Amino acid sequence: MCWNVFLLLQLIFSPRLNDPGPEIQKIQLSGFAQGTTWHVTYYAQDSVVKKKQADSILSRLDSALSIYKPWSLISRFNASKNGITVDHHLAAVVEKSIEAWEQSAGIFDITIQPLVAAWGFGAKHVKKYPDSARVRSLLQCTGTDKIKLEGDHLIKTRSCIAIDVDGIAQGYSVDVLANFLEQNNITSYIVEIGGEIRVKGRKKPGNEKMKIGIEAPGDYLFESPVMQKIISIDEGAVTTSGSYRRFHESNGKKFSHIIDPKTGYPVRSDVVSVTVFAHDAITADAYDNVLMAMGLQKALAFAEQREDLAAYFIYKTPGGSIADTASSRFYELFVNSEVRGEK
């Protein structure tokens, strides 16, 4: 789930009076993983976390969570008849996925991998989209209630069950890198993978919160960006899901990569994109797709009921114009008291 995000981040640490100590350095790391780029910026007296360590962590995550690698744990589970023993990474992602499935009334469902693949959003290209009979058949092999996690064993009740955690794995990966920084006593940082972000710390010496700029997509419903928002936070995660990048077109109509697990068809929603703020990136990443699929009014109501989420929406009005709005807690994050959008 990529997003056109620019970051406004500058941390300046001032020495204590009469005890300057070692100078605080700005360390920047970057690389390529999970089919996208990653960036880490942190401030410390020395480069205690290095690029090769981040690369190693991301490689281990791929070995557990990537459906594009045939040797990964998730690929082995999908190929198995009854299930396999999993590591703590896949177990953590599945546990959160089951929680999101329960709390979203089944909208978030990692077992729709066969449907995702059938509609051409998986690892392989498809020449023909599924007909109604094929969709009905594939629906028999979906449902998070058909998997269960018992200790380190992930079990499937039907051999045709296959899972895809792309809708949550990137957020989890951001959290793993952020937690590694904190384990190394780094308290001011920003971690970003493919536009999914987690930050901690404030600017110095003014003690200002960090700022994240959110720009509207320019290649789906409109030719150029039409709105831009800036939010200010000192701790938390921001992720975005949008129908503006991952879509297919058939007979002049575009359809989203988000599949409705109840119908088996791509979701048709008035929501163009959702940006979610949460304490950690795995939570934000899980629910940005959920809110996309719900449609604007249900999504706003859902976000308002959750104390652990805040959401910003770009949507298409019945008249065809583009508008934006947000849940009440998200408005509190806007810089300079941004004008509320239409609801």
Across 141-167, average pLDDT: 95
Domain annotation covers residue 85: yes
Across 150-161, average pLDDT: 96
Domain annotation covers residue 10: no
Question: Does the pLDDT of residue 233 top 60, yes or no?
Answer: yes
For residues 259 and 51, the model is more confident at 51
Question: Does the pLDDT of residue 247 top 90, yes or no?
Answer: no
Query: If you write DSSP's letter for every residue of 323-343 in order, what string do you get?
Result: EEEE-HHHHTTBTT-PPPPP-
Domain annotation covers residue 127: yes
Question: Does the pLDDT of residue 204 top 90, yes or no?
Answer: no
Q: How far apart are CA 125 and CA 119, in angstroms?
A: 9
Domain annotation covers residue 151: yes
Q: What is the pLDDT of residue 126?
A: 66
> Which of 14-18, 129-133, 144-148 is predicted least confidently?
14-18
How many CB atoms are closer than 10 A to CB 286?
Answer: 28
Query: If you write DSSP's letter for every residue of 4-60 in order, what string do you get?
Result: -EEEE----PPPBTTB--SPPEEEEEEEEETTEEEEEEEEESS--S-HHHHHHHHHH
Domain annotation covers residue 133: yes
Q: What is the pLDDT of residue 18?
A: 47
Distances (CA, A) of 212 to 9, 134, 153, 162, 337: 8, 43, 39, 36, 15
The confidence band for 16, taking pLDDT boundaries of 50, 70 and 90, is: very low
Instruction: Work out the percent of the chain whose per-residue pLDDT is above 70.
Output: 80
Domain annotation covers residue 69: yes
Question: Does the pLDDT of residue 243 top 50, yes or no?
Answer: yes
Q: What is the pLDDT of residue 270?
A: 85
Strand order across the beta sheet in which 83-85 lies: 83-85, 153-156, 147-150
Q: How far apart are CA 128 and CA 280, in angstroms?
A: 38
Q: What is the pLDDT of residue 170?
A: 95
The confidence band for 256, taking pLDDT boundaries of 50, 70 and 90, is: low
Domain annotation covers residue 341: no
Q: What is the pLDDT of residue 65?
A: 96
Q: What is the pLDDT of residue 339?
A: 43
- What φ, ψ does residue 322 adopt, rounded to 5°? -105, 135
Domain total of the chain: 1
The confidence band for 120, taking pLDDT boundaries of 50, 70 and 90, is: confident
Q: Which of 95-104, 117-126, 224-233, 264-273 has the highest mean pLDDT?
A: 95-104
The confidence band for 4, taking pLDDT boundaries of 50, 70 and 90, is: very low
Domain annotation covers residue 118: yes
CATH number at residue 77: 1.10.3980.10
Q: What is the pLDDT of residue 211?
A: 86
Going through the chain in order, the beta strands assigned E by DSSP cover 5-8, 25-33, 36-44, 83-85, 147-150, 153-156, 189-193, 196-200, 210-215, 228-233, 235-242, 247-250, 253-256, 271-278, 309-316, 322-326
Q: What is the pLDDT of residue 216?
A: 64
Q: What is the pLDDT of residue 229?
A: 86
Q: What is the pLDDT of residue 209?
A: 82
Report which DSSP code applies to 208. Answer: P
Query: If you write DSSP's letter for every residue of 181-196 in order, what string do you get?
Result: HHHTT--SEEEEETTE
Question: Does the pLDDT of residue 14 top 50, yes or no?
Answer: no
Give the domain extent around 135.
59-166
How many CB atoms are closer than 10 A to CB 268?
Answer: 14
Question: Does the pLDDT of residue 26 top 70, yes or no?
Answer: yes
Q: How far apart are CA 157 and CA 121, in angstroms?
A: 25
For residues 268 and 147, the model is more confident at 147
